[in-house]
Chain A
Amino acid sequence: MTGPSPSRMLAGRHVYRVVSQLGTDLLVGHCWCGEERSAEDPIELWEWLLAHPETHDANSAAGAAGPPGDRLVRT
C-alpha cells in the first residue's frame, strides 16, 4: 500500500478496478477476468467493463481472487 495508486483492496472473485493515471486524464479499467482498457470517459469505461464477456473475454471465466484487503470489514 504505497503511492498514489494503492494496491488492490477488495478481495472478492469479481472485482472491477478503475485506476486514474497520475498526470493524465486517462482511466484504466481492469476487469476481473484480466482484460484491461483505457478510456477518458468513466461512463464509457464502465460500459465496457460491465459488458464482460461481450466486449472482451479473457479465457478465465471464474474470476480471480485478489489479496485480502487489510482493512475490509466484511468478508
Chain B
Amino acid sequence: MPTWSRNQWYVAAYSAEISHELFARTICGEPLVLYRTTGGDVVALEDRCVHRRYPLSKSHLIDDTIVCGYHGFTYDQCGTCLAAPGQKRIPRTARVPAFTIVEQDSLVWVWIGDNDRSDEALIPRAPWLDSPEYTVVRGMEPLQARYELLVDNLLDLSHETYLHGGYIGTPEVAQTPITTEVDEDAGVIYVSRHMDDAACPPFYAESTGITGRIARWQDIEYHPPCLYLLHSRIAPTGDLPADDGTDDHAFHVEVVYAITPETEHSTHDFWMVARDFALADQHVSDFLAENNRTVVLQDVVALDVLETIVEGEKEHYQELSINIDTGGLAARRLLKRQREAGEAAPEPTAATSTR
C-alpha cells in the first residue's frame, strides 16, 4: 500500500526538461510519458500502450501524436487512439489515461488522482523561480528512499550542523530554538529559526562576500505533500529589516525542494536555489549550484542508508522524538490527513446531497 496521497498535485518535471520529445518519468508509481506539443502545452499520458503495453516513451512523436513503436497504435494528446494498424475500426477501449497538467513557476505539476477532482487553485506558488528579480540554479537527484524520509530531513535543519558541516552547517543551527506553526485550514507548516549572531558558513560567505558574523534566518514553509520553501535571509549581524518591511541590505536566498514520490522506495529530489543578488555573476551561480548539489548528495547518501534500515526493521519500531522534531511531527500528521482525504470518496456537492 503506497504511503503517498492521491488526489494531490506533484511536481513531475522542470518546464525546461519537457520539449517536443518523449520523456519518461514515474510519479507516485504511475509511469508517465510527457512531451510538449507544437502549440507549447505539456501532455502527460500513461506510459503503456493499450495493445501490448509497449512503453510510449520508447515510441515516436509525430506532430502531436504518439505512434507506438511496436505495432503503430496512434494516440492524440488526450490519449485517444486515432489509428490501429491494418483495420478501420478502432476498439472503443483503445485509450490511454491522460493526466491533468499545469505549468507554473517553471514547474510542471501533475495531478495524481481523479481528473475531475483536480483544482488548479490548490497548487502552491514559488514565484521567484520564474522572476527577473532572481537568478536560479537547480538540479534533481534520484533518491533511493521513501519520500517521508526526505520530509523528515528537510523539516529539521538542525542536521545541517552535523551532516553538512563545512558547507551550510555551523554550531548555531543546532543550538538555536525554533518556532513551529501549523495552519490547519490551509494545510501549511511553518518552522522558523532566527540566528541573530552566527558564523557565516562557506555557502553564504562565498556567494554574498560577507566576511564577518551574520544574522541568519531560516523560515521553512512546507506545503505538503510536495512543495518545500526555505526562505533564507543573510545579513551582517545587527542588520534588521526596516519597520516598513523593506530589507534591501540583506541577501535573500529562496531554497525550494519538490518532494515527488517515484515508487514506494524512491523519490525525485528536485532542488532549486534562487537568489536576489549577484544576478548576472556566473561564478556565484556555479558556486551555488555545485555546493547545493554537494549538500543534497550528502542527504541522499544518508537517506539511502536510512531506507535500507527502515525496510529491514521490526514492525512497530519506536522512534524517539525531541524538540527539534516538532515541525516534522506536524508534517507527518498533515500528510496522514491528506492520505485519508485522498482515499475517501469525494464530498457530495449540494446538487447530489440527499439531505
Contact = CB atoms under 8 A, between A and B. Distances in A.
Given A46-B330, A46-B333, A73-B127, A17 B181 contact: yes
A10 B326 CA distance: 16
B186 A74 contact: yes
A42 B184 contact: no
Contacts of B178: 20
Interface string B317-346: 000011101100110010000000000000
Contacts of A11: 183
A72 interface: yes
Contacts of B180: 17-19
Contacts, number: 106
Interface in B195-242: 195-196, 217, 219, 221, 223, 229, 231, 240-241
B182 interface: yes
Given A4-B177, A74-B125, A10 B323 contact: no
A9 B124 contact: no
**Chain B contact surface mostly:** mixed
Contacts of A3: 194, 196
A25 interface: yes
B183 A71 contact: no
Contacts of B196: 2-4
A42 B183 CA distance: 17
B85 interface: no
A62 interface: no
Contacts of B176: 4
Interface in B101-120: none
Contacts of B326: 18, 20, 27, 42, 45-46
A46 B184 CA distance: 13
Contacts of A41: 321
Contacts of B124: 73-74
A43 B328 CA distance: 11
B184 A21 contact: no
B126 A19 contact: no
B86 interface: no
A75 to B, nearest CB: 8
A20 B245 CA distance: 25
**Chain A contact surface mostly:** loop
B40 to A, nearest CB: 25
A42 B322 contact: yes
A2 B190 CA distance: 16
Contacts of B325: 42
Given A2-B240, A17-B179, A74-B223, A43 B185 contact: no
Nearest to A9: B190
Contacts of A45: 326
Nearest to A75: B186
B231 A71 contact: yes
A19 to B, nearest CB: 5
B266 interface: no
Interface string A10-26: 11111111111110010
Contacts of A46: 326, 329-330, 333
B153 interface: no
B61 to A, nearest CB: 35
Closest 7 CB pairs of A and B: A20-B177, A12-B183, A14-B184, A6-B192, A10-B183, A42-B326, A18-B180
17 contacts: A1-B240, A4-B195, A4-B196, A6-B179, A6-B194, A13-B185, A15-B183, A16-B330, A18-B180, A27-B323, A27-B326, A40-B323, A45-B326, A46-B329, A73-B124, A73-B125, A73-B126
